[in-house]
Amino acid sequence: MQLSHRIETLTPGGADGWEVFVKSKALIAEGVAVTELTIGEHDIRTDPTILGAMDASARGGRTGYAEVPGIGVLRDKVAARITERTGVATGRDNVLITPGGQAGLFAAHCAVCDPGDAALFIDPYYVTYPGTLRAVGARPVSILTRAETGFLPSEAAILDAVTPDAKSLLINSPNNPTGAIYGRETLEEIGRACDEAGLWLISDEVYDTQVWDGTHLSPRALPGMAERTLVIGSMSKSHAMTGSRCGWIVGPDHAIARLISLATHTTYGVPGFVQEAALFALDQGSELEERIAAPFRRRRALAQRILAGQNTLRMLPPQGAMYVMLDVRATGLSGDAFADALLEAERIAVMPGESFGQAAAGHIRVAMTIEDEAFAEALERLCGFAAGLAAAKAS
Ligand code: PMP
């Protein structure tokens, strides 16, 4: 039986960017020791105190259907957190709790794009973006940025990509994979472009607690932007709760009301015991968030030190998030070929830049998600491997 065009074309050509990750998982399953630096997941598990809260909640009876928009106390907590951090008055009616940021991205685009509409996004991008946009029936339109300008989008580049059927622009700061943080000037350019082109702005802020340089600024806080912005948040990265699937969308109350109706007809909410655990986690305040972010700050410094000592790979120092991007072009290989060869020769798995679009071609993304000493050792080996390739190319 024929499946829908929409689902069959979600990942054109069958490639979804996760090939090295899948290959490395298969090697690990065969018993091969692989240093796994592909996926964005902490090397610590969810804090035992959060699990305690989850357990108490489930045993206390929170195992039935939970309120579809999210439990009131968690919506209030997220609203208060956002008000405090951005200065934008935010209440319960501006918040929908979702099963993770990924479900939030899908729902937010459903809310603003009709089938066939153009949905703009910035390249390099988080691997799932184009497929998410296709899943809602939208036409993904990428806006290329360049390493030389810090992978920041400009007003002109956004407006160049706008067509009459364009409805939304998706941005992500702190950025996966580049580690770029969009400053006020960039966000103002984005805001002006959205205003001029009549676009919704969908702002993926799931890395907002992982900031190494500068500060995180939410575009929703810029004048006039709250009416046209949907913010995607998540407990995954900030609280090492990737498996709990708990995130949110924050936006204008009329949009959230419609999104609640969409949730009724799709996810039917998030488990109550997960939400109560998330509430407990948020109640711990920024100390817990800083403790979870600290290893990445340390490893970024380690990477800067190791990369400074070689001249084949160029590191784009991340301002935020849990990855480092390395320019591997001096080896003569593409990011794809480099990642394949590295897995083959050194049993180190990294993501090829090409998985994140055209703009990151010739780069690899290294997740800083293993313990410090092993991370430093893997980077040293990676540098040695790259130097060997560059020497072979030169000879
Ligand atoms: N956005 C970005 C940029 C991400 O890197 C991720 C996860 N890697 C997500 C959204 C989705 O996160 P989750 O669904 O776990 O909240």
46 lines ligand 1 (CB under 6 A): no
Distance 170 CA to ligand 1 centre (A): 13
Pairing of strands 35-37, 348-352: parallel
What does the pLDDT average to over 308-330?
94
369 lines ligand 1 (CB under 6 A): no
The per-residue pLDDT for 14 is 62
The per-residue pLDDT for 13 is 65
Distance 387 CA to ligand 1 centre (A): 33
Q: Which atom of ligand 1 is nearest to the CA of 103?
A: 14
| Domains (range + CATH), the chain | 5-45+287-387 (3.90.1150.10), 48-285 (3.40.640.10)
Residue nearest to atom 16 of ligand 1 (CA): 101
Dump pLDDT digits (tens) for 156-182.
Answer: 999 999 999 999 999 999 999 999 999
Sign of CA dihedral 121, 290, 249, 104: positive
236 lines ligand 1 (CB under 6 A): yes
What does the pLDDT average to over 62-79?
98
Helix or strand run (H / E) with residue 25: helix 19-29
Contacts of 92 (CB under 8 A, 6+ apart): 72, 75, 76, 79
379 lines ligand 1 (CB under 6 A): no
Distance 102 CA to ligand 1 centre (A): 6
Distance 39 CA to ligand 1 centre (A): 11
231 lines ligand 1 (CB under 6 A): no
Q: Which atom of ligand 1 is nearest to the CA of 40?
A: 8
The per-residue pLDDT for 128 is 92
The per-residue pLDDT for 11 is 83
247 lines ligand 1 (CB under 6 A): yes
φ/ψ (deg, to 5) at 2 = -75, 135
Dump pLDDT digits (tens) for 22-64.
Answer: 999 999 999 999 999 998 889 999 999 999 999 999 999 999 9
| Encoded amino acid at 176, one letter | N
CB 369 within 8 A of CB 37: yes
φ/ψ (deg, to 5) at 62 = -80, 45
